[in-house]
A and B are shown apart, each in its own frame.
Chain A
Amino acid sequence: MIKKFKLFISPIPALEKWLNKMSSEGYRLVKAGKIFFYFERCERNKYVYAVDYVANKSYDDLMEYENFLEQSKIKYIEKSGNVGKFSLWNIRWRPYADKGAKIATSNGMINREFLILEKENDGKPFDIYTTIGDKIYALKNMRKPTVVLMFLIGFLFLMNMFDFIPTYKWTLYEINLLSNNSTALLLVLGIIETLLLINFIRFTLAINELKRESKIHE
């Protein structure tokens, strides 16, 4: 088994692209951890990969979906992605999830934000969503964590800018200890906010493009 280290800022479609590139070099994904990926050797291009975002699904719904995939002869590998959620011991709050899925617990949805789908390569493209409506819906779900994080970071940024010390002291106490002055903290928050904004704009542009398309095609 071959172990590879890889970190993605926005896993879809970068992860998808990387896995398909690995497949073309003769590597098949066996397991996916937080930052490590495990591969075994196989025939080149034997499998194709697609990554689905499932953090908005409830536990029951995800089990149902996984069962459906098994029936459809598609292998899935669960992958955790640590974006836009708040942890308190073993409970996580996801403000962007569907109703009934907002609180994730350890036996449920924690560490199951993405599903990596694997199918035998039949020469056809492997798309998880094949109608424009579904593509828009999927992109909107993927955009939600970015929006939540943008509000959170923006809030901390403003608190810090106006020197409202008590707030950032308990929220970002450790970062503040490291930097020891609020300019450095402002800079860090500013950079994160900018990256989030870029991500948000990319999602929004893609959604708008699809919306225009949906006026003519299904």
Chain B
Amino acid sequence: MFGKQENKQEPLTETAYLILLALLKPNHGYGVMKFVEEKTKGRVIFGPGTLYGAINNLQKKGWIRLYSVDSDERKKEYVITDEGLRRVNEELKRLNEVYEIGLEILRERSDNYDKEI
């Protein structure tokens, strides 16, 4: 009950979700930040502390792994693992589910609203 939460339905944070997507192709930290900023049109800009912590955590969990380190061990590239890919696909399903629910309910509401008018 208080131990590790390995429940499949556990939602990912937006941060983890976006980093996993950014790492479908090998990339370094700065590349991840730029990718996310571009894809979300500037809505999500990771702070360096947040991005650093999240990359470390995902690596510890084994959802991403080190892809390459250049000769002087400065530039590190990461890539998603099979487990990471499975998690991000599950998250996509979950997001689709809540999206569909929202759409259905709000559509009903606006239909009723139109009728009232």
Give me the interface of A with B, judged by CB distance under 8 Å: 52, 65, 67-74, 117, 124, 126-131, 133-134, 138, 218
Give A26 to B38 CA distance when docked, in angstroms: 31
Contact of A130 among B30, B45, B74, B75 (CB under 8 A): B45
Q: A131-B13, A218-B14 are in contact. Are A74 and B48 (CB under 8 A)?
A: yes
**Contact call B52/A65, Cβ cutoff below 8 A:** yes
Interface size on B, residues (CB 8 A): 21
- Closest residue on chain B to residue A130 by CB atoms: B47
Cα distance A72–B47 in the bound complex, in angstroms: 10
Known: A68-B29, A218-B14. A130 touches B50 (CB 8 A): yes
Most buried by A among B42, B50, B74, B75: B50
In-complex Cβ contact of A72 among B15, B29, B44 (8 A): B29
Contacting pair B74 A67 (CB below 8 A): yes
Question: A124 with B45: in contact, given A71-B75, A129-B50 (CB under 8 Å)?
Answer: yes
CB of B46 within 8 Å of the partner chain? yes
Q: Does B28 contact A (CB under 8 A)?
A: yes
Q: Are B49 and A72 in contact (CB under 8 A)?
A: no
Question: 20 A-B Cβ contacts within 8 A?
Answer: A52-B49, A67-B74, A68-B29, A71-B30, A72-B29, A72-B30, A117-B48, A124-B42, A124-B45, A128-B50, A129-B49, A129-B50, A130-B45, A130-B46, A131-B13, A133-B13, A134-B50, A138-B49, A218-B13, A218-B14
Q: Bound state CA distance, A124 and B75, in angstroms? A: 26
Give Cα A65–Cα B47 distance, bound, in whole angstroms. 13
Task: Indicate if the CB atoms of A128 and B74 lie closer than 8 Å.
Answer: no
Q: Provide the residues of chain A in CB contact with B14, threshold 8 Å.
A: 218
Query: Which residue of B30, B49, B75 is within 8 Å of A134 (Cβ)?
Result: B49
User: Closest B-chain residue to A76, C-beta based?
Assistant: B48
In the bound complex, residues from chain A placing their C-beta under 8 Å from that of B45 are: 124, 130
